Homo-oligomer: A and B are copies of this chain.
């Protein structure tokens, strides 16, 4: 979605506010998977097959770690480690995550602004029935999100503040776009930072969401199962019920056209257009719809 927006808008006009609830300290290193995925993707450096990490990556450090019986379920490639080493050193130096994120984006020569939702530590934690609460990466990567979830919590969110620039961007942007991402664990943590939900709600008329659910399923990840497990409907209508307070408009895919009336009944204007971004052209076309709707 961001690639599509950057294809139709000048990069200096685009601010991406990114979830850091997935962040995890591994082996003493601060890893920010969502920030890095955004950065690597926009830099055209991401591994296109895996969808995470860098293309042409090597794995010598992980292989060495295996010798010691260390935790290798969260794979950190050798070049990717350079990013985590840099981020961790700068955090030790006292730099903020938002400052470091800007430095990393600049090193990759990205023209947009990438902001972590907060410079404060917020941890998405999920409750697995019969087992208790586990960290997000343990759920998402170690269990490959194949266990049911009965609750989600954003530890630390209540005491967090939005990163510098986040509220200004939400207040001043021509348009807010809620990208097609997991409403519970990708968009949810961002909204959990005090002040962000309120700022989005205040811009509801200029806010537009793209449904991450297409034909009742998530194109990627566990959003569909998770919505159902937490009492929501895994459909564009379920998404509309969640997003109606935040955004005036929901973009749904053509395959869900029959549900447009139900979306409107849930309180959102409905735009029907191709949303499955399997090519840059589709992404750019969707971005054009989003910016002009």
Q: Which residues of B contact A86 (CB under 8 A)?
A: 27, 65, 68, 70
CB atoms of B89 and A26 under 8 A apart: yes
Decide yes or no: A71 and B58 within 8 Å by CB, A28-B28, A30-B28, A80-B64 being known contacts. no
Our pick among B64, B77, B92, B103 for the contact of A83 (Cβ within 8 Å) is B64
Our pick among B61, B62, B66, B89 for the contact of A28 (Cβ within 8 Å) is B89
CB atoms of B81 and A61 under 8 A apart: yes
CB atoms of B82 and A65 under 8 A apart: yes
A interface bracket (residues with beta carbon within 8 Å of B): 35 or more
CB atoms of B104 and A83 under 8 A apart: no
CB atoms of A107 and B67 under 8 A apart: yes
Our pick among B25, B85, B92 for the contact of A65 (Cβ within 8 Å) is B85
CB atoms of B63 and A60 under 8 A apart: no
Our pick among B30, B68, B78, B84 for the contact of A58 (Cβ within 8 Å) is B78
* Interface of A toward B, CB cutoff 8 Å: 25-30, 58, 60-71, 76-86, 88-89, 91-92, 103-104, 107-108
